[in-house]
């Protein structure tokens, strides 16, 4: 018999603790690069090259719109991100990684992967799938995961 929780409600303390510990590890790598976890989340979302509406970036990065605007302003100042008017809906602004942003994301992703390499487990893909399923049940209106293995943090 397992001591692990049995319901979605029981998962909250475990998920919170895991997220904080993982964020602390990744945050240490990013701090050396003068980048926050929130900025990393934005860069990772934009790394697909599709460009995303600011409202979507705010939701995916779990940031209030005003906070996201300030963060994206900082990333624009660092020439990592740029904004463009959405060609289909001119009321929307889309954010994209710049060429420099793509290079920085790739470089930082390698550093993050190296930091977390020792934590890899055989069941990581299964865990990612289970978490994606839970997220889908909690937020049925969200877009499905774009990658089989989500970026850390």
Instruction: Find where tokens 């605007």 sit.
Output: 69
d(CA 135, CA 122): 22
- Look at the domain 38-105 and name its fold: Arc Repressor Mutant, subunit A (1.10.10)
Nearest to 49 by CA among 133, 106, 111, 121: 106
Query: For the segment 84-104, what is each residue's pLDDT rounded down to a tens digit?
Result: 998 888 899 999 999 999 999
Query: For the segment 11-42, what is each residue's pLDDT rounded down to a tens digit?
Result: 888 899 999 999 999 999 999 999 999 999 99
For 79, left (φ over 0), alpha (ψ -120 to 50), or beta?
Answer: left
What does the block give as tokens for 77? 């100042």
What does the block give as tokens for 68? 């996201």
DSSP codes, 17-48: HHHHHHHHHHHHHHHTTT--HHHHHHHHHHTT
Local structure of residue 96 (DSSP, 8 states):
E
> Could you tell me the pTM of the whole model?
0.81
Query: For the segment 113-152, what is each residue's pLDDT rounded down to a tens digit?
Result: 999 988 888 888 898 898 888 888 888 776 655 544 444 5
């Amino acid at each position: 018999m397992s001591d692990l929780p049995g319901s979605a409600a029981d998962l909250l303390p475990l998920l919170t603790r895991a997220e904080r510990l993982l964020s602390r590890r990744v945050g240490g790598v990013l701090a050396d690069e003068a980048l926050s976890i929130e900025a990393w989340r934005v860069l990772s979302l934009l790394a697909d090259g599709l460009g995303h509406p600011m409202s979507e970036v705010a939701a995916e990065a779990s940031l209030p719109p005003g906070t996201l605007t300030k963060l994206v302003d900082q990333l624009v100042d660092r020439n990592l991100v740029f904004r463009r008017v959405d060609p289909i809906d001119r009321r929307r602004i889309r954010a994209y990684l710049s060429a420099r942003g793509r290079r920085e994301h790739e470089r930082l992703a390698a550093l993050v992967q190296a930091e977390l390499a020792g934590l890899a487990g055989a069941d990581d893909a299964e865990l990612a799938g289970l978490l994606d399923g839970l997220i889908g049940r909690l937020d049925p209106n969200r877009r499905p995961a774009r990658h089989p293995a989500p970026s850390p943090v």
